[in-house]
């Protein structure tokens, strides 16, 4: 029908030569047989599996010794792809395909090789009794891991258009067709298509691109590294967004409780896990409210406490020359710095920082009369209880939130704390994750 | 049966038993309290039955849509606007009394304007949220505070210093002539069912019909609630003493102490819990008022933002700030009496309107 048009090879070849001729690792190989029949291979050496290319493609070519039969051999390979257009071909080469130019026909075979397909140990969300391995940085290895945990025929894997104008990262969508709400799946697809950022390199960055709110404090999608959590969430009808090159996935829609749950909850006996959950919420409340409650009570309403306690706090604050909010702010910021420092420092120096910071600084600060003893206890309690929140993103959000409550309490006393808390509840209730309410008591799992 | 409906009823009961309502009841404690309370409860339960069941005949619809569909244009505009204003008034009363309580009991040195703005800064955005979202917030606040408040009420009942003789004196005047002020005030705490006029939109398929025994249950809760609110301050402070306080309930809470705990005075727990409850109550009434007023204006958008609600909320905020400075405590108190009494008649009228609407909808 289009016989007057150029053949596939004629269309593709100039484009490929223009795009890749100057690149060191791009290869244009010509293989020829005795009867002067030729085929041409185009690929980028550094993204394909160099070790096996000879075995897989060169050797058979000479063994088969016939172009037509070699063509059908190529077509029989598992990662064979048909030619679509020039742009698609260029993209395929960049993603590790080998392009075959055989007698006016163009074929592509995916022959990708990635260095980082080792399965990592779970390091961010660790459990005692659960599986100890997390994901890898290779999307196919990850799919393999998940498929092995979720043997269900309704599990759908969908490739989405690549993300990032420059990085062109591959993104996959994973959901259980039977469990997931199709509306939400469509919504996720639409959002991913709309996400426009030049470079996306982490799950958190994609999360930022996916939410239409520009500035947000609380995570509305869950970032996880645990295959067991992914399998559980698939069963719950959630949608998993997988990203090439990252050992984390995004799960949505998620509600507040998801961020307060650890996979450990499923592996422990019922009452133990309930106890752990209660502990977690107590930790959340302590880390959120304790600093502001201290300021509100000490500086505004010391009569709230029973008299003995009020006296002992006042006694401990005797040498402290400034109002309580400065004391709290000073110690909290020191504590945050310690936390940050121990994340960024090389693992070998880490313990030094904590020793210097925690022991020496804390002791010296009370001796110098800059902060009270009770303040040290409070800061320690806040720091420890903040780490009890199982999902990292939520614990970071709560770390920030605590300062907002502290500010409002500093300016308006205990009443500010109550108003701030109600405000926080309103804000959390107001949020939603792909159309699901973010914070709602007694969420039922029915669809 | 939806739990949210009960939350709304309970919220209104709780929010109104500590500030203005008990003051009015205690003022008339020796003039036929019991008879007034009984009349109030019977009247309100009838309203509740009629109003709720009429609303439930239109599943998923709020009062503005219903009224607009079956009533002439001029009537629905005026009626909905007035209803909205009434809701804003009740928000205003809650706000006003809690600003005053904050100033009196927690932070005497904070400027009133500052406290007002602080409250409004949370209540107004809250009222602008979606209808369902306000319900979720309500649920959380109630679940946190309800057990503690009930605990404090129980603690008050088993308080050894509660003088039952003083309470008996109130009952000796049981059958004196009832007064309309007291009926109004007592019925006000039971008016939570009116909130269904907007919340019916989201209670779809959950609430079918308010049966008689459920009504009785609400009635019993109301009776216990209103008698607690009246009798505990009298029992603790004495028949004469109770009349000396502007906020009898907070003075009563201050008589109680927790022997073993960080906090000794119950007052502070009670206060902070009630600030939370009153904020959510103000948010919800403000939201309902907003939805009523919003419905009579066309939707105007400016840069994708609907501006009518913003204007209404701003006007309300300005009004409440001005109101505090223009009116004295006594004037607010007298105004509240008039407002509560007015609501008695407004209730009858709105029930009648709804019954008429139900009839028309059946004819169509």
B343-364 residue pLDDT tens: 888 988 999 998 988 888 888 6
CA distance linking residue B18 with residue B245, whole number of Å? 12
Q: B279–A430: do the CB atoms touch at under 8 Å?
A: no
If one counts the domains in chain B, the total is 1
Express each pLDDT in B104-123 by its tens digit.
Answer: 888 888 888 999 999 999 99
Chain B residues with CB under 8 Å of a chain A CB are 102, 106-107, 110, 114-115, 118-119, 121-122, 125-126, 129, 132-134, 136-137, 139-141, 143, 261-265, 268, 272, 275-276, 279-280, 283
pTM of the model: 0.87
Average pLDDT value over all residues in chain B: 87
- CB-based contacts of A252, cutoff 8 Å, min separation 6: A184, A188, A210, A220, A221, A222, A238, A239, A241, A433, A434
Instruction: Give the residue from A286, A426, A438, A444 with the most B CB atoms within 10 Å of its CB, the best one to mutate.
Output: A426
Which of B6, B11, B107 to probe the A interface (max A CBs under 10 A)? Answer: B107
Do A415 and B115 make contact, defined as CB atoms within 8 angstroms? Answer: yes
- Cβ-based neighbours of A21, under 8 Å, separated by 6 or more: A28
Which of A423, A425, A439 is the best substitution to test chain B (most B C-beta atoms within 10 A)? A425
Dist CA A185 CA A130 (whole Å): 29
Residue A447, pLDDT score: 39
**Nearest-CA distance B79 → chain A (Å):** 30
CA distance A359 to chain B (A): 28
Cis amide bond preceding A253, omega within 30:
yes
Task: Tell me whether A299 touches chain B (CB under 8 Å).
Answer: no
Burial class (CB in 10 A: 0-12, 13-18, 19+), A23: exposed
B141 vs A430: CB contact, 8 Å cut-off? Answer: no
Q: Kindly report the three-state secondary structure assignment for every residue of B102-166.
A: HHHHHCCCCCHHHHHHHHHHHHHHHHHCCHHHHHHHHHHHHHHHHHHHHHHHHHHHCCCCCCHHH
Give per-residue pLDDT as tens, B56-96. Answer: 888 888 888 888 888 888 899 999 999 999 999 999 988 88
Question: What's the pLDDT at A275?
Answer: 94
In Å, how far is A202's CA from the nearest CA of chain B?
32
- What is the distance in angstroms between the Cα of A425 and the nearest Cα belonging to chain B? 6
Structure tokens at A174: 């994973």
Nearest CA in chain B to A413: B107
Residue A147 Cα, gap to closest chain B Cα (Å): 37
Walk along chain A (447 residues) and give the pLDDT tens digit of each residue: 454 567 777 778 888 888 887 788 888 888 888 777 788 888 888 888 777 888 888 888 888 888 888 888 888 888 888 887 878 888 888 878 888 888 878 888 887 777 677 888 888 888 888 888 888 888 888 888 888 888 888 888 888 887 777 777 888 888 888 888 888 888 888 888 887 777 777 888 888 888 767 788 888 889 998 889 999 999 888 899 988 888 899 998 888 888 988 888 888 899 999 999 999 999 999 999 999 999 999 999 888 888 888 999 999 999 988 889 999 998 899 888 888 888 888 877 777 777 777 777 888 888 888 889 898 899 989 989 998 998 888 999 999 999 999 999 999 989 999 999 999 999 999 988 888 888 887 765 543
Cβ neighbours of A417 in B, within 8 Å: 272
The pLDDT value given to residue A385: 92
Residue numbers of A between 395 and 434 with CB closer than 8 Å to B: 412-419, 421-423, 425-426, 429-430
| Cα A427 from Cα A156, distance rounded (Å) | 34
Q: How many other C-beta atoms can be found within 10 angstroms of the C-beta atom of residue A271? A: 8
Residue B89 domain boundaries? 3-363
Could you say which of B106, B122, B261 has the minimum Cβ distance to residue A414? B106
A299 to chain B: closest CA residue: B107
CA-based torsion, A293, A298, A299, A300: positive or negative: positive
From A56, A37, A60, A63, select the one nearest A110 (Cα to Cα): A56
Instruction: List the structure tokens of B222.
Output: 């109301």
Strand order in the sheet with A169-176: A155-163, A169-176, A239-243, A249-252, A222-224
- Nearest CA-CA distance, residue B110 and chain A, Å: 7
Could you report the predicted ipTM of this complex, rounded to two decimals? 0.92
Tell me the chain B residues in contact with residue A303 when contact means C-beta distances shorter than 8 Å: 265
Q: What are phi and psi of A348, to 5 degrees?
A: -75, -30
Q: What's the rounded Cα separation, in Å, for the pair A422 and B16?
A: 19
Residue B284 pLDDT exceeds 90 = yes
Rg (CA), chain A: 29
Which pLDDT score is estimated for A290?
Answer: 94
Q: Give pLDDT, residue B189.
A: 86
Contact across the interface for B122 and A425, Cβ inside 8 Å: no
Q: Is the pLDDT of residue B8 over 50?
A: yes
Q: What is the pLDDT of residue B1?
A: 47
**Interstrand relation of A155-163 and A105-110 (parallel, antiparallel or unpaired):** unpaired
- A-B contacts at Cβ under 8 angstroms: 88
pLDDT the model gives residue A340:
86
Residue from the list B264, B265, B275 with its beta carbon closest to the beta carbon of A418: B275
Q: Say if the Cβ atoms of B262 and A305 lie within 8 Å.
A: yes
Beta strand pairing call for A97-102 and A26-32: unpaired
Question: Residue A443: what pLDDT?
Answer: 65
Give me Rg for the CA atoms of chain B.
Answer: 20
Nearest CA in chain B to A436: B133
Please give the residue of chain A at the shortest CA–CA distance from B136: A440
């Amino acid at each position: 029908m289009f016989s007057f048009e150029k053949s596939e090879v004629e269309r593709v070849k100039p484009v490929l030569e223009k795009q890749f001729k100057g690149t060191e690792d791009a290869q244009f190989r010509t293989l020829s047989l005795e009867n002067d029949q030729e085929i041409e291979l185009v690929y980028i050496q550094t993204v394909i599996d160099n070790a096996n290319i000879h075995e897989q493609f060169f050797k058979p070519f000479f063994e088969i010794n016939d172009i037509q039969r070699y063509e059908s051999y190529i077509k029989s390979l598992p990662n064979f792809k048909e030619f679509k257009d020039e742009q698609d071909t260029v993209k395929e080469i960049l993603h590790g395909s080998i392009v075959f130019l055989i007698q006016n026909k163009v074929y592509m075979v995916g022959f990708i090789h990635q260095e980082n397909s080792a399965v990592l140990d779970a390091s961010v969300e660790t459990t005692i009794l659960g599986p100890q391995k997390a994901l890898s940085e290779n999307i196919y290895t990850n799919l393999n891991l998940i498929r092995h945990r979720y043997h269900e025929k309704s599990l759908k894997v969908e490739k989405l258009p690549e993300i990032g104008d420059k990085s062109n990262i591959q993104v996959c969508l994973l959901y259980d067709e039977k469990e997931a709400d199709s509306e939400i799946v469509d919504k996720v697809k639409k959002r991913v298509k709309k996400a426009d950022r030049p470079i996306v390199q982490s799950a958190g960055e994609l999360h930022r691109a996916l939410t239409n709110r520009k500035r947000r404090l609380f995570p509305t999608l869950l970032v996880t590294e645990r295959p067991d959590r992914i399998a559980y969430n698939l069963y719950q009808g959630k949608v998993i967004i997988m990203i090439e090159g990252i050992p984390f996935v995004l799960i949505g829609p998620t509600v507040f409780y998801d961020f307060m749950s650890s996979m450990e909850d499923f592996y422990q006996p019922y009452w133990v896990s309930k106890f752990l959950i209660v502990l977690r919420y107590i930790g959340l409340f302590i880390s959120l409210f304790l600093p502001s409650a201290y300021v509100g009570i000490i500086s505004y309403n010391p009569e709230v406490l029973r008299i003995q306690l009020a006296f002992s706090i006042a006694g401990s604050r005797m040498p402290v020359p400034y109002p309580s909010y400065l004391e709290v702010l000073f110690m909290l910021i020191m504590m945050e710095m310690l936390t940050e420092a121990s994340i960024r420092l090389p693992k070998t120096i880490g313990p030094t920082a904590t020793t210097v910071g925690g022991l020496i600084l804390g002791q010296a600060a009370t001796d110098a009369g800059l902060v009270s003893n009770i303040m040290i206890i409070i800061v320690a309690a806040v720091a420890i209880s903040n780490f009890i929140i199982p999902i990292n993103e939520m614990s970071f959000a709560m770390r920030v939130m605590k300062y907002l409550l502290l500010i409002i309490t500093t300016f308006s006393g205990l009443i500010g704390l109550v108003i701030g808390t109600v405000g926080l509840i309103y804000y959390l209730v107001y949020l939603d994750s792909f159309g699901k309410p973010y914070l709602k008591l007694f969420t039922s799992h029915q669809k | 049966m939806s739990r949210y409906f009960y939350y709304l009823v309970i919220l209104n009961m709780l929010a109104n038993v500590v500030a203005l309502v008990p003051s009015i009841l205690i003022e008339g404690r020796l003039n036929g309290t019991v008879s007034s309370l009984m009349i109030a409860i019977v009247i309100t339960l009838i309203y509740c039955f009629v109003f709720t069941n009429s609303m439930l005949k239109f599943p998923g619809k709020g009062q503005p849509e219903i009224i607009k569909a079956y009533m002439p244009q001029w009537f629905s505009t005026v009626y909905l606007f007035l209803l909205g204003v009434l809701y804003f008034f009740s928000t205003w009363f809650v706000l006003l009394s809690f600003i005053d309580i904050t100033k009196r009991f927690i932070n005497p040195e904070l400027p009133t304007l500052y406290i007002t703005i602080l409250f409004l800064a949370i209540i107004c955005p809250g009222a602008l949220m979606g209808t369902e979202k306000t319900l979720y917030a309500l649920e959380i606040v109630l679940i946190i505070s309800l057990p503690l408040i009930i605990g404090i009420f129980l603690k008050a009942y088993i308080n050894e210093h509660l003088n039952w003789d003083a309470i008996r004196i109130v009952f000796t005047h049981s059958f004196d002539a009832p007064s309309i002020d007291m009926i109004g005030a007592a019925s006000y705490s039971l008016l939570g069912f009116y909130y269904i006029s907007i919340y019916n939109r989201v209670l779809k398929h959950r609430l079918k019909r308010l049966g008689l025994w459920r009504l009785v249950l609400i009635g019993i809760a109301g009776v216990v609630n209103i008698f607690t609110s009246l009798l505990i301050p009298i029992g603790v402070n004495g028949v004469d003493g109770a009349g000396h306080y502007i906020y009898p309930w907070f003075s009563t809470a201050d008589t109680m102490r927790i022997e073993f705990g960080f906090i000794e005075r119950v007052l502070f727990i009670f206060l902070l819990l009630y600030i939370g409850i009153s904020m959510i109550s103000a948010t919800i009434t403000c939201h309902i008022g907003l939805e009523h007023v919003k419905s009579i204006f066309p939707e105007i958008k400016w840069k994708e933002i609907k501006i009518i609600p913003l204007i209404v909320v701003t006007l309300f905020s300005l009004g409440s700030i001005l109101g505090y400075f223009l009116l004295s405590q006594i004037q607010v108190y007298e105004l509240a009496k008039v407002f509560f009494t007015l609501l008695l008649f407004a209730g009858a009228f709105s029930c009648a309107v709804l019954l008429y609407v139900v009839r028309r909808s059946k004819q169509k």
